[in-house]
A and B are shown apart, each in its own frame.
Chain A
Amino acid sequence: MGIRERLSGNEAAATAMKQINPDVVAAFPITPSTEIPQYFSTFVDNGQVDTEFVAVESEHSAMSACIGAEAAGTRAMTATSANGLSLMWEMVYIASSMRLPIVMSLVNRAVSGPLNIHNDHSDAMGVRDAGWIMLFSETNQEAYDNLLMAHRIAENEKVLLPLMVCQDGFITSHSIENIELLEDAKVKEFVGEYHPKHYLLNKKEPIAMGPMDLQAFLFEHKYQQAEAMCNAKQVILDVAKDFEKLTGRKYGLFEEYKLDDAEIAIVCMNSTAGTTKEVVDSLREKGIKAGLLKVRVFRPFPAEEISKALAHVKAVAVLDKADSLNGVGGALFTDVTSGMQVNGVTVPTSSYIYGIGGRDTTTKEIESVYKDLMEDSKKGKIENPYRYLGLRKE
Chain B
Amino acid sequence: MTEINKETPACKMTIGGNIYEAGNAREFKTGDWRSVRPVYIPEKCIQCGLCFPVCPEDAIPVGKDQKRTDFNYDYCKGCGVCAKVCPFGAITMRVEGEE
The residues of A with any CB-CB pair to B shorter than 8 Å are 97-99, 160, 198, 205-213, 216-218, 220-221, 223-224, 228
Given the contacts A221-B13, A224-B13, A216 and B18 also touching, CB distance less than 8 Å:
no
Say whether B16 contacts A98, CB under 8 Å.
Answer: yes
Give the distance in Å from the alpha carbon of A223 to the alpha carbon of B12 in the complex.
Answer: 12
Query: Which residues in A have their C-beta under 8 angstroms from that of B19?
Result: 207-209, 211
Give the distance in Å from the alpha carbon of A212 to the alpha carbon of B18 in the complex.
Answer: 10
Say whether B16 contacts A206, CB under 8 Å.
Answer: no
**A99, A206, A218: which contacts B15 (Cβ < 8 A)?**
A99
Whose C-beta in chain A lies nearest to the C-beta of B28? Answer: A212
29 A-B pairs with CB atoms under 8 Å apart are A98-B16, A99-B15, A160-B15, A198-B20, A205-B20, A206-B21, A207-B18, A207-B19, A207-B20, A207-B21, A208-B19, A208-B22, A209-B16, A209-B19, A210-B17, A211-B18, A211-B19, A213-B17, A216-B6, A217-B13, A217-B17, A218-B17, A220-B8, A220-B9, A221-B15, A221-B16, A221-B17, A224-B13, A228-B15
Q: Which residues 30-59 of B sit at the A interface, judged by CB distance below 8 A?
A: none
**A206, A211, A220, A228: which contacts B22 (Cβ < 8 A)?**
A206
Query: Which residues in B have their C-beta under 8 angstroms from that of A198?
Result: 18, 20
Give the distance in Å from the alpha carbon of A224 to the alpha carbon of B11 in the complex.
Answer: 8
The residues of B with any CB-CB pair to A shorter than 8 Å are 4-6, 8-10, 13, 15-22, 28
Say whether A220 contacts B20, CB under 8 Å.
Answer: no
Whose C-beta in chain B lies nearest to the C-beta of A217? Answer: B17
Query: Which residues in B have their C-beta under 8 angstroms from that of A223?
Result: 10
Whose C-beta in chain A lies nearest to the C-beta of B12? Answer: A220
Query: Which residues in A have their C-beta under 8 angstroms from that of B28?
Result: 212
Query: Which residues in A have their C-beta under 8 angstroms from that of B17?
Result: 210-211, 213, 217-218, 221
Say whether A210 contacts B6, CB under 8 Å.
Answer: no
CB distance from B56 to the nearest CB of A (A): 16
Most chain A Cβ neighbours within 10 Å, of B6, B8, B20:
B20
Whose C-beta in chain A lies nearest to the C-beta of B22? Answer: A206
Give the distance in Å from the alpha carbon of A191 to the alpha carbon of B20 in the complex.
Answer: 27
Give the distance in Å from the alpha carbon of A207 to the alpha carbon of B1 in the complex.
Answer: 11
Whose C-beta in chain B lies nearest to the C-beta of A223? Answer: B10
Known interface pairs A207-B18, A221-B13, A221-B15; 5 further A-B residue pairs with C-beta atoms within 8 A, sorted by A's residue number: A206-B22, A207-B20, A213-B17, A218-B17, A220-B9
Give the distance in Å from the alpha carbon of A97 to the alpha carbon of B22 in the complex.
Answer: 21
User: Nearest 6 A-B pairs (CB), nearest first?
Assistant: A206-B22, A220-B10, A208-B19, A216-B6, A99-B16, A98-B16
Give the distance in Å from the alpha carbon of A208 to the alpha carbon of B13 in the complex.
Answer: 14
Whose C-beta in chain B lies nearest to the C-beta of A205? Answer: B20
**A208, A218, A228: which contacts B18 (Cβ < 8 A)?**
A208
Say whether B13 contacts A209, CB under 8 Å.
Answer: no
Say whether A224 contacts B15, CB under 8 Å.
Answer: yes
Query: Which residues in B have their C-beta under 8 angstroms from that of A224?
Result: 10, 13, 15
Give the distance in Å from the alpha carbon of A198 to the alpha carbon of B10 in the complex.
Answer: 19
Give the distance in Å from the alpha carbon of A220 to the alpha carbon of B16 in the complex.
Answer: 10
Query: Which residues in B have their C-beta under 8 angstroms from that of A160?
Result: 15
CB distance from B39 to the nearest CB of A (A): 28
Given the contacts A206-B22, A207-B21, A97 and B16 also touching, CB distance less than 8 Å:
yes
CB distance from A381 to the nearest CB of B (A): 43
Give the distance in Å from the alpha carbon of A79 to the alpha carbon of B52 in the complex.
Answer: 50
Whose C-beta in chain B lies nearest to the C-beta of A212? Answer: B28
Query: Which residues in A have their C-beta under 8 angstroms from that of B13?
Result: 217, 220-221, 224
Whose C-beta in chain B lies nearest to the C-beta of A157? Answer: B15
CB distance from B79 to the nearest CB of A (A): 18
CB distance from A16 to the nearest CB of B (A): 27
Most chain A Cβ neighbours within 10 Å, of B9, B19, B21:
B19
Give the distance in Å from the alpha carbon of A308 to the alpha carbon of B62 in the complex.
Answer: 70
Whose C-beta in chain A lies nearest to the C-beta of B7? Answer: A216
CB distance from A206 to the nearest CB of B (A): 4
Whose C-beta in chain A lies nearest to the C-beta of B6? Answer: A216
CB distance from B22 to the nearest CB of A (A): 4
Whose C-beta in chain B lies nearest to the C-beta of A213? Answer: B17
Give the distance in Å from the alpha carbon of A209 to the alpha carbon of B20 in the complex.
Answer: 9
Give the distance in Å from the alpha carbon of A221 to the alpha carbon of B22 in the complex.
Answer: 21
Give the distance in Å from the alpha carbon of A205 to the alpha carbon of B18 in the complex.
Answer: 12
Query: Which residues in B have their C-beta under 8 angstroms from that of A220?
Result: 8-10, 13
